[in-house]
Amino acid sequence: MADVFIVCTDGLKGMSEAIEAAWPAAVHQTCVIHLVRGTLRYTSRKDWQHLTVDLRAIYTAATAAAAEAQLEEFTDKWGDKYPAVIRLWREAWPRFIPFLDYDQEIRKVIYSTNMVESLNSRFRQATRRRGHFPTEQAALKVLYLVLREKSRNGSNLLSVRIYGWKKALNAFALTYSDRINNN
């Protein structure tokens, strides 16, 4: 892969350096869902309903400045009770805000790593069942069969449609017109 526009990760240490070394022009985005889950780890379950509403106002803000204002409101409301949550968001902020620069169409596609994690989970499950493989080719065949396997609704992973992908692709084409290759 020669070029990557955006890389969404779950915040593993060293990931930023690896991305920058491999694709210097790529934008590194923190997975919003992982950030919310990390927030909920520090909070009481009885506050989750109100916290998630306040967090949604941050990550659905129209601009980075609006998100910053929402974070300040969030800090005023929850900072005394959950200072670790505020620290978590402040530390993640530089890797959280890049996706706010994009259109809504792109945001829907890049805010989470869950789709990739689901695919990796299916791959791990298939390879664990079989133990070891005599050749690399045998392992690749199993992974291909996982992709082709029919699900309950009759589709397979190769035919899964990403909701809003065509709109996102159009927005990518406009945003990265100098880097995108239409072939």
Q: Which two tokens stand for residue 55?
A: 């967090």
Query: pLDDT tens digit string along 37-91?
Result: 999 999 999 999 999 999 999 999 999 999 999 999 999 999 999 999 999 999 9
What percentage of the chain has pLDDT greater than the value 70? 86
Q: Are strands 27-30 and 6-9 parallel, antiparallel or unpaired?
A: parallel
Tokens of 102: 């994009």
For 16-43, what is each residue's pLDDT tens digit?
888 889 888 888 888 888 899 999 999 9
What pLDDT was estimated at residue 67?
94
- Report the alpha-carbon distance of residue 111 to residue 75 in Å, rounded: 22
Highest mean pLDDT among 69-73, 112-116, 161-165: 69-73
